[in-house]
Protein backbone atom coordinates (compact mmCIF):
# COMPACT_ATOMS: atom_id res chain seq x y z
CA UNK A 1 0.00 0.00 0.00
CA UNK A 2 2.78 2.34 0.85
CA UNK A 3 4.53 1.61 -2.43
CA UNK A 4 1.33 2.18 -4.34
CA UNK A 5 0.76 5.43 -2.52
CA UNK A 6 4.26 6.59 -3.34
CA UNK A 7 3.79 5.49 -6.94
CA UNK A 8 0.64 7.52 -7.24
CA UNK A 9 2.34 10.57 -5.71
CA UNK A 10 5.34 10.25 -8.05
CA UNK A 11 3.14 9.75 -11.11
CA UNK A 12 0.93 12.68 -10.12
CA UNK A 13 3.88 14.99 -9.56
CA UNK A 14 5.53 13.92 -12.82
CA UNK A 15 2.26 14.39 -14.78
CA UNK A 16 1.78 17.83 -13.27
CA UNK A 17 5.33 19.01 -14.06
CA UNK A 18 5.08 17.54 -17.57
CA UNK A 19 1.76 19.32 -18.13
CA UNK A 20 3.28 22.60 -16.93
CA UNK A 21 6.56 22.46 -18.81
CA UNK A 22 5.99 20.00 -21.63
CA UNK A 23 9.25 18.27 -20.68
CA UNK A 24 10.12 15.18 -18.72
CA UNK A 25 10.77 16.21 -15.15
CA UNK A 26 13.91 15.25 -13.29
CA UNK A 27 13.99 12.98 -10.27
CA UNK A 28 14.91 15.92 -8.06
CA UNK A 29 11.95 17.98 -9.29
CA UNK A 30 9.50 15.11 -8.77
CA UNK A 31 10.96 14.25 -5.39
CA UNK A 32 10.65 17.88 -4.29
CA UNK A 33 6.97 18.03 -5.30
CA UNK A 34 5.93 14.51 -4.26
CA UNK A 35 7.83 14.48 -0.97
CA UNK A 36 9.07 10.89 -1.49
CA UNK A 37 12.47 9.37 -0.78
CA UNK A 38 15.18 9.08 -3.39
CA UNK A 39 14.90 5.34 -3.99
CA UNK A 40 11.14 5.31 -4.48
CA UNK A 41 11.23 8.40 -6.65
CA UNK A 42 13.93 6.92 -8.89
CA UNK A 43 12.10 3.60 -9.20
CA UNK A 44 8.71 5.07 -10.05
CA UNK A 45 10.19 7.66 -12.39
CA UNK A 46 11.62 4.84 -14.49
CA UNK A 47 8.14 3.34 -14.70
CA UNK A 48 6.59 6.70 -15.52
CA UNK A 49 9.08 7.34 -18.33
CA UNK A 50 8.54 3.87 -19.72
CA UNK A 51 4.81 4.41 -19.72
CA UNK A 52 5.16 7.77 -21.39
CA UNK A 53 7.46 6.28 -24.03
CA UNK A 54 5.00 3.45 -24.73
CA UNK A 55 2.12 5.88 -25.11
CA UNK A 56 4.20 8.03 -27.45
CA UNK A 57 5.04 4.99 -29.62
CA UNK A 58 1.49 3.59 -29.53
CA UNK A 59 -0.07 6.74 -30.90
CA UNK A 60 -3.82 7.45 -30.35
CA UNK A 61 -5.35 5.02 -27.88
CA UNK A 62 -8.35 2.84 -28.67
CA UNK A 63 -10.92 1.19 -26.44
CA UNK A 64 -9.54 -2.04 -25.00
CA UNK A 65 -11.88 -5.01 -24.52
CA UNK A 66 -12.61 -6.02 -20.95
CA UNK A 67 -11.04 -9.42 -21.33
CA UNK A 68 -7.90 -7.96 -22.77
CA UNK A 69 -7.87 -5.32 -20.05
CA UNK A 70 -7.92 -8.03 -17.40
CA UNK A 71 -5.06 -9.75 -19.09
CA UNK A 72 -3.18 -6.50 -19.28
CA UNK A 73 -3.91 -5.81 -15.64
CA UNK A 74 -2.66 -9.26 -14.68
CA UNK A 75 0.48 -8.73 -16.68
CA UNK A 76 0.88 -5.29 -15.16
CA UNK A 77 0.49 -6.76 -11.68
CA UNK A 78 3.04 -9.43 -12.45
CA UNK A 79 5.37 -6.82 -13.84
CA UNK A 80 4.79 -4.68 -10.80
CA UNK A 81 5.59 -7.55 -8.46
CA UNK A 82 8.65 -8.37 -10.48
CA UNK A 83 9.65 -4.69 -10.33
CA UNK A 84 9.21 -4.78 -6.59
CA UNK A 85 11.41 -7.84 -6.37
CA UNK A 86 14.01 -6.09 -8.47
CA UNK A 87 13.65 -2.96 -6.39
CA UNK A 88 14.07 -4.96 -3.21
CA UNK A 89 17.14 -6.60 -4.69
CA UNK A 90 18.49 -3.26 -5.74
CA UNK A 91 17.65 -1.92 -2.29
CA UNK A 92 19.50 -4.83 -0.71
CA UNK A 93 22.50 -4.18 -2.91
CA UNK A 94 22.29 -0.50 -2.10
CA UNK A 95 22.11 -1.29 1.60
CA UNK A 96 25.12 -3.56 1.31
CA UNK A 97 26.93 -0.83 -0.57
CA UNK A 98 25.96 1.59 2.15
CA UNK A 99 27.24 -0.84 4.79
CA UNK A 100 30.52 -1.17 2.93
CA UNK A 101 30.69 2.59 2.53
CA UNK A 102 29.93 3.00 6.23
CA UNK A 103 32.66 0.51 7.05
CA UNK A 104 35.10 2.42 4.84
CA UNK A 105 34.01 5.68 6.43
CA UNK A 106 34.43 4.13 9.91
CA UNK A 107 37.91 2.91 9.00
CA UNK A 108 38.76 6.31 7.58
CA UNK A 109 37.33 7.92 10.70
CA UNK A 110 39.42 5.60 12.85
CA UNK A 111 42.50 6.45 10.82
CA UNK A 112 41.75 10.15 11.08
CA UNK A 113 41.15 9.74 14.81
CA UNK A 114 44.52 8.01 15.20
CA UNK A 115 46.16 10.78 13.21
CA UNK A 116 44.39 13.37 15.35
CA UNK A 117 45.57 11.60 18.50
CA UNK A 118 49.13 11.62 17.16
CA UNK A 119 48.78 15.27 16.20
CA UNK A 120 47.34 16.01 19.63
CA UNK A 121 50.33 14.30 21.24
CA UNK A 122 52.66 16.34 19.05
CA UNK A 123 50.69 19.45 19.97
CA UNK A 124 51.02 18.68 23.69
CA UNK A 125 54.75 18.07 23.27
CA UNK A 126 55.07 21.32 21.34
CA UNK A 127 53.09 23.12 24.04
CA UNK A 128 55.41 21.71 26.69
CA UNK A 129 58.42 22.86 24.67
CA UNK A 130 56.82 26.29 24.28
CA UNK A 131 56.21 26.44 28.03
CA UNK A 132 59.82 25.48 28.71
CA UNK A 133 61.04 28.06 26.20
CA UNK A 134 58.82 30.71 27.77
CA UNK A 135 60.24 29.88 31.22
CA UNK A 136 63.78 30.05 29.81
CA UNK A 137 62.93 33.36 28.14
CA UNK A 138 61.58 34.74 31.43
CA UNK A 139 64.75 33.66 33.21
CA UNK A 140 66.85 35.20 30.45
CA UNK A 141 64.84 38.42 30.67
CA UNK A 142 65.44 38.55 34.43
CA UNK A 143 69.14 37.97 33.87
CA UNK A 144 69.17 40.77 31.29
CA UNK A 145 67.36 43.07 33.74
CA UNK A 146 69.95 42.24 36.42
CA UNK A 147 72.76 42.96 33.98
CA UNK A 148 71.12 46.26 33.06
CA UNK A 149 70.90 47.20 36.74
CA UNK A 150 74.56 46.25 37.23
CA UNK A 151 75.49 48.27 34.17
CA UNK A 152 73.52 51.26 35.45
CA UNK A 153 75.24 50.99 38.85
CA UNK A 154 78.64 50.69 37.16
CA UNK A 155 77.80 53.68 34.99
CA UNK A 156 76.83 55.70 38.04
CA UNK A 157 80.02 54.61 39.82
CA UNK A 158 82.06 55.49 36.77
CA UNK A 159 80.39 58.89 36.60
CA UNK A 160 81.12 59.43 40.31
CA UNK A 161 84.74 58.35 39.84
CA UNK A 162 85.02 60.65 36.84
CA UNK A 163 83.62 63.54 38.89
CA UNK A 164 86.12 62.79 41.68
CA UNK A 165 88.92 62.60 39.14
CA UNK A 166 87.88 65.92 37.63
CA UNK A 167 87.71 67.46 41.11
CA UNK A 168 91.18 66.09 41.92
CA UNK A 169 92.45 67.42 38.62
CA UNK A 170 90.93 70.82 39.38
CA UNK A 171 92.59 70.86 42.79
CA UNK A 172 95.87 69.77 41.24
CA UNK A 173 95.58 72.64 38.76
CA UNK A 174 94.95 75.03 41.65
CA UNK A 175 97.95 73.65 43.55
CA UNK A 176 100.11 73.88 40.44
CA UNK A 177 98.98 77.46 39.98
CA UNK A 178 99.79 78.16 43.66
CA UNK A 179 103.21 76.53 43.31
CA UNK A 180 103.86 78.55 40.15
CA UNK A 181 102.84 81.70 41.99
CA UNK A 182 105.17 80.83 44.89
CA UNK A 183 108.00 80.14 42.46
CA UNK A 184 107.36 83.48 40.84
CA UNK A 185 107.28 85.22 44.23
CA UNK A 186 110.48 83.42 45.24
CA UNK A 187 112.14 84.46 42.00
CA UNK A 188 111.11 88.06 42.59
CA UNK A 189 112.38 87.83 46.19
CA UNK A 190 115.70 86.46 44.94
CA UNK A 191 116.01 89.30 42.47
CA UNK A 192 115.22 91.80 45.21
CA UNK A 193 117.74 90.20 47.54
CA UNK A 194 120.32 90.23 44.78
CA UNK A 195 119.71 93.90 44.17
CA UNK A 196 119.98 94.62 47.89
CA UNK A 197 123.20 92.60 48.04
CA UNK A 198 124.58 94.55 45.12
CA UNK A 199 123.75 97.81 46.84
CA UNK A 200 125.35 96.54 50.04
CA UNK A 201 128.52 95.53 48.25
CA UNK A 202 128.66 98.91 46.52
CA UNK A 203 128.30 100.63 49.94
CA UNK A 204 131.07 98.47 51.39
CA UNK A 205 133.33 99.40 48.51
CA UNK A 206 132.63 103.09 49.10
CA UNK A 207 133.34 102.75 52.82
CA UNK A 208 136.50 100.81 52.15
CA UNK A 209 137.68 103.55 49.82
CA UNK A 210 136.82 106.18 52.45
CA UNK A 211 138.67 104.26 55.14
CA UNK A 212 141.67 103.83 52.94
CA UNK A 213 141.58 107.51 52.23
CA UNK A 214 141.30 108.33 55.93
CA UNK A 215 144.16 105.99 56.77
CA UNK A 216 146.31 107.47 54.08
CA UNK A 217 145.43 110.92 55.18
CA UNK A 218 146.22 110.13 58.80
CA UNK A 219 149.55 108.66 57.91
CA UNK A 220 150.63 111.61 55.75
CA UNK A 221 149.71 114.45 58.10
CA UNK A 222 150.40 115.25 61.72
CA UNK A 223 147.98 114.11 64.36
CA UNK A 224 145.17 116.67 64.58
CA UNK A 225 143.78 117.97 67.87
CA UNK A 226 141.76 115.54 69.95
CA UNK A 227 138.55 117.48 69.40
CA UNK A 228 138.99 117.29 65.63
CA UNK A 229 139.52 113.56 65.85
CA UNK A 230 136.37 113.19 67.87
CA UNK A 231 134.31 115.23 65.35
CA UNK A 232 135.66 113.17 62.48
CA UNK A 233 134.97 110.03 64.39
CA UNK A 234 131.40 111.14 65.15
CA UNK A 235 130.84 112.18 61.53
CA UNK A 236 132.15 108.88 60.22
CA UNK A 237 130.01 106.98 62.69
CA UNK A 238 126.95 109.01 61.67
CA UNK A 239 127.61 108.24 57.99
CA UNK A 240 128.06 104.60 58.73
CA UNK A 241 124.88 104.50 60.83
CA UNK A 242 122.83 106.09 58.03
CA UNK A 243 124.35 103.82 55.40
CA UNK A 244 123.03 100.63 53.86
CA UNK A 245 122.63 97.34 55.77
CA UNK A 246 125.89 95.89 56.98
CA UNK A 247 127.03 99.26 58.34
CA UNK A 248 127.51 97.88 61.89
CA UNK A 249 130.51 95.84 60.84
CA UNK A 250 131.94 98.90 59.02
CA UNK A 251 131.34 101.05 62.14
CA UNK A 252 133.29 98.53 64.15
CA UNK A 253 136.05 98.76 61.56
CA UNK A 254 136.15 102.58 61.84
CA UNK A 255 136.34 102.43 65.65
CA UNK A 256 139.22 100.01 65.38
CA UNK A 257 141.05 102.38 63.00
CA UNK A 258 140.54 105.33 65.36
CA UNK A 259 141.89 103.33 68.24
CA UNK A 260 145.01 102.60 66.25
CA UNK A 261 145.42 106.30 65.44
CA UNK A 262 145.09 107.19 69.15
CA UNK A 263 147.85 104.74 69.93
* Burial of residue 142, with CB atoms counted within 10 A of its CB: 0-12 exposed, 13-18 middle, 19 or more buried: exposed
pLDDT tens digits along 241-251: 454 444 444 44
Contact call for residues 229 and 261 (beta carbons, < 8 A): yes
pLDDT tens digits along 63-104: 555 655 666 676 777 778 887 888 888 878 888 888 888 888
pTM recorded for the entire structure:
0.27
CB proximity list for 30: less than 8 A, separation 6 or greater: 10, 13, 14, 17, 36, 41, 45
Contact call for residues 233 and 258 (beta carbons, < 8 A): yes
pLDDT tens for the 263 residues of the chain, in order: 667 888 899 999 999 999 888 888 999 999 999 998 889 899 999 999 998 888 777 655 555 556 556 666 767 777 788 878 888 888 788 888 888 888 888 888 888 888 888 888 888 898 899 899 999 888 888 888 898 988 888 889 888 878 897 898 899 789 888 988 988 898 899 999 899 989 988 888 888 888 888 888 888 875 555 554 555 554 444 544 454 444 444 445 445 544 544 54
Amino acid sequence: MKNMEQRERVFGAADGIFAETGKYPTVAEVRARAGTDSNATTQFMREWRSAMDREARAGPTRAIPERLRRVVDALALAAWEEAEEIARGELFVEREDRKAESAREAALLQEVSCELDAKWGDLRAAQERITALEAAACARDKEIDDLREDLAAATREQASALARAMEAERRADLMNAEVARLHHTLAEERVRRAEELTLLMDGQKGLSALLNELIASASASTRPPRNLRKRRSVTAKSDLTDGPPGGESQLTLVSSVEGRQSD
